[in-house]
């Protein structure tokens, strides 16, 4: 049994219509219909919202043989990366003094004990 079919079974066993489930979850009615018809895989957010609304964990109702891990992809377009680099160059050109100040302050904070001991050693002629 696919996830959408099992979801429909759980929802109907609780006498909850698709519209009521939509209102409880904040998902659109069409999204609920598409999930139940196995047209789409629900997102992790949708799974959580449905689980909260039905007071169950829908992912537990999928058999282990049918359970497929969620796949995530990460794609960077070269044009987006070029735009990012151009924006970064512009930022550094216009705010280099502020960036330098922030870097020096961070360095001073992280090196405080070394700086303090060096000053004390110099003060005490060591």
Torsion of CA 105, 111, 112, 118, to 10 degrees: -120
> What is the pLDDT at residue 4?
86
**What domains appear along the chain, each with residue ranges and CATH number?**
3-61 (1.10.260.40), 78-123 (no CATH)
pLDDT in tens, the chain (126 residues): 688 888 888 889 999 999 999 999 999 999 999 999 989 888 888 888 888 888 887 556 555 445 555 555 666 566 677 888 888 899 899 999 999 999 999 988 888 888 888 887 877 876
Does the reported pTM lie above 0.75?
A: no
């Amino acid at each position: 049994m696919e996830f959408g079919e099992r979801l429909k079974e759980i929802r109907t066993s609780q006498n909850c219509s698709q519209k009521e489930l939509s209102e409880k979850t904040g998902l659109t009615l069409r999204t609920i219909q598409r999930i139940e018809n196995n047209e789409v895989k629900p997102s992790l957010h949708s799974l959580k919202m449905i689980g909260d609304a039905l007071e169950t964990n829908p992912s537990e109702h999928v058999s282990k043989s049918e359970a497929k891990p969620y796949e995530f992809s990460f794609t960077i377009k070269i044009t987006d990366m070029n735009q990012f680099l151009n924006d970064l160059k512009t930022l550094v050109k216009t705010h280099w003094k502020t960036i330098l100040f922030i870097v020096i302050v961070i360095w001073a904070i992280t090196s405080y004990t070394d700086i303090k001991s060096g000053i004390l050693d110099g003060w005490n002629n060591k």
